[in-house]
Amino acid sequence: MTGNPPPYRELQPDEWRRLLARAAVYHAIRGRLGQLCEMEQDAAVRTVLSRLDEAVRSCAGSTADDRSMVTAVVRRWVRAVGRIQAWQDLDAEAASLLADLKKLVRAACAEDPFAALFARIEALASQLYGAAWRPAMLTVARLPDHPRGSDRDPYAVTALTPWPPEPPPAEILLWICDDAFGPATYAAIPILLIHECVCHVAARQEKAKNDSQFAEGFLDWAGHHFLRIWAAKLDPLSAAAVEEHAQQLGQVLFHTASPRERRARQLGRQAAGDLLSWFQSECQMGREEGCHRVAVLAIELNRAKRPIADKDQFVSLLKLPFPPAVARRLRAWNDGRATAEELLDLGLPA
């Protein structure tokens, strides 16, 4: 096959073009992602998505380069949407959505949307960590099967940061099952990349396990906080859908985890919630300021060169009412008189 090689070493040209074509379409219509997902059970919308899949499969082996692949898929899909628009029993809401999709998709292009999104997220995350940031790179790879093996799970994507980290840059792997790459999957990619950047790229401890209260609960809470702040900065057109599917993916991951992992995540998030309540009641903060202070503390703890066990132990102390020593040290930290390291010392044996 001729044309430009894939930008990611894990992908063959046809694999990359199948992923790119779908992503290019979803990026072009991103202002309607939320509505498209909500109406996915409508017969017309379901057929429209099926025709997109058919277009990608049909064009994958017959195009010479990325641009011609995206152009061919869009042209074929626009014709299919036009035929569905002629259905006599098409309701008004579906008709309006299809008209919007047909118009918006014409802006689809062959530029890599994964790289563009990752560059914006990395720039924002690096500001949180300053000099402690470890430069990162993105690798997109294909999954042959759904990462959780469920037809009822619309999120055919997962991400990880290999451990131990190589010399800079750190690598984030984004795995996508192209056969199940639907609009919900595309909408969930930002939270996965934010989680890896905020929680793992700059971590200064040994590899965190999935049953870590700190890494997968408390710090993940901070990742969702930053998603809410960053969503419109990343892309105002898709911000609402990205926030909605971040929450829905979180619920899917919670319910598919082991009982031990679910408990750790629950305890970590409860600790973040209790700390937020404490900041509001004891430090007279508004909710947004309190949320931000919790997230800032999570970043400072992640930056501390201490074992993950110390961080898990500290998080376990954050249960209202806080012990007096914990409350005093938190006040000192909030006033700039104590460090994250000193907070972690609270969990050490006396």
Which tens digit of pLDDT belongs to each residue from 291-349?
999 999 999 999 999 999 999 999 999 999 999 999 999 999 999 999 999 999 998 87
Round to whole Å and give the CA distance between 321 and 323.
7
How far are the Cα atoms of 28, 58, 78, 104, 290 from residue 100, in angstroms, in the given order?
11, 24, 11, 6, 40
Is residue 227 within 8 A of residue 328, CB to CB? The reply is no
The whole-angstrom distance between residue 280's C-alpha and the CA centroid of its chain comes to 28
Residue 160 CB partners (closer than 8 Å, separation 6+): 172, 173, 175, 196
Strand order in the sheet with 170-176: 136-142, 170-176, 157-160
Domain ranges of the chain: 13-107
- The conformational region for residue 2 under phi > 0 = left, psi -120 to 50 = alpha, else beta, is beta
Q: Mind listing the pLDDT tens digit for each residue in 46-90? A: 999 999 999 999 998 777 799 999 999 999 999 999 999 999 999
Taking the model in full, what pTM does it have? Answer: 0.95
Is residue 201 within 8 A of residue 125, CB to CB? The reply is yes
Average pLDDT for residues 173-177, to the nearest whole number? 97
pLDDT the model gives residue 205: 67
3-state class (DSSP) for residue 214: helix
Helix, strand, coil in percent for the chain, rounding step 5: 65, 5, 30
Tell me which amino acid residue 1 is: M
pLDDT the model gives residue 164: 63
Q: How confident is the model at residue 1 (pLDDT cuts 50, 70, 90)?
A: very low
